[in-house]
Amino acid sequence: MGDTERLLVERVQTGVRMEKRLLKVLKAFAEYHDLTLGDLLEGIVLHAFDGKCPFGEDSLRRIADLKRFYGLELDSTASHRLKEGRPTKAARRKSE
């Protein structure tokens, strides 16, 4: 199959919860590359499923810059240690 051949897929809407700063970095990175968040996540997951890194050196530098900008200090070692805290008063007011 050629790299330019389009593949027909069925996409579904999902309601995934994610760490706030991580989502900000992902959205900013997708915007930088003129991608939707869904397209970016699909690409990351497909690469990961093949055991490949989805990012080159330039992208990793951009991600590091975005992590600093959004105050994201988490890395892969945090992946199984995240625990959701109670929402702040301001966040609770927004949801009411």
In a domain, 32, yes or no: yes
The tally of domains found in the chain comes to 1
In a domain, 37, yes or no: yes
In a domain, 88, yes or no: no
Q: What domain range includes position 22?
A: 17-73
Q: Give the pLDDT confidence score for residue 2 in this predicted structure.
A: 61
Residue pointed to by tokens 């890395």: 75
CA distance 15 to 58: 30
Threshold 0.85, pTM exceeds: no
CA distance 40 to 33: 9
Q: What is the pLDDT of residues 13-70, one digit of tens each?
A: 999 999 999 999 999 999 999 999 999 999 999 999 999 999 999 999 999 999 999 9
In a domain, 2, yes or no: no
In a domain, 68, yes or no: yes
In a domain, 40, yes or no: yes
The strand ranges marked E within the chain are: none
In a domain, 25, yes or no: yes
Cβ proximity of 16 and 66 under 8 Å: no
In a domain, 28, yes or no: yes
> Using CA of residue 85, residue 91, residue 92, residue 96, what is the dihedral sign?
negative
